[in-house]
């Protein structure tokens, strides 16, 4: 950990949490204990809610994982553990993307088709369990 800090200090790069902590508005909040603790609790609650919404929406069509990562960004602005988790996530997303880019076209198309099939299956199951909304036209081939 100390070696990582030294590397960042040499490069002039700071973590998100350190950059937020060095900002003037954050230093003013940190200087007053009566504001600092509620601020950190607020960041934890907001970030936790964003992560929770993202986790719930992961199987649904839309930006589930993006929402989880946005919540981690909020949490990483104050908490070291969230910063480490965000870095872990970034490394794994990059390795997955690099791996997929090295694959043949048919593998990339197969991954895209499986992803699309999963999204459609989740959507159909969700509509079957929750019911098809009235605003969906009758010609749409879904269970009614």
- Output the pLDDT for position 62: 75
Residues 6+ apart with CB under 8 A from 138: 144
Q: Is the full-model pTM beyond 0.85?
A: no
The domain locations on the chain are 2-101, 103-144
Find out whether 85 and 74 touch, Cβ atoms under 8 Å.
no
DSSP annotation of 59: T
Burial 117-131 (b: 16+ CB within 10 A, else e): eeeeeeeeeebeeee
For residue 101, the model assigns a pLDDT of 93
Annotate 103-115 with DSSP letters as a single string.
Answer: S-HHHHHHHHHHH
Find which of 31-35, 122-126, 139-143 is predicted with most confidence, using mean pLDDT.
Answer: 31-35
Given a cut of 50, whether residue 120 has pLDDT beyond it is yes
């Amino acid at each position: 950990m100390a070696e990582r800090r030294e590397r960042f200090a040499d490069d002039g790069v700071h973590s998100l949490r350190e950059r937020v902590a060095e900002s003037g508005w954050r230093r003013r909040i940190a200087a007053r204990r009566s504001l600092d603790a509620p601020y950190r609790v607020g960041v934890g609650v907001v970030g936790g809610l964003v992560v929770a919404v993202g986790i719930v929406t992961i199987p649904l069509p839309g930006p589930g994982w993006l929402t989880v990562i946005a919540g981690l960004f909020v949490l990483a602005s104050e908490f070291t553990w969230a910063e480490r988790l965000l870095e872990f996530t970034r490394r794994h997303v990059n390795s997955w993307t690099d791996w997929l880019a090295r694959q043949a076209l048919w593998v990339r198309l197969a991954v895209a088709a499986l992803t699309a099939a999963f999204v459609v299956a989740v959507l159909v199951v969700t509509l079957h369990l929750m019911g098809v909304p009235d605003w969906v036209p009758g010609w749409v081939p879904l269970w009614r």
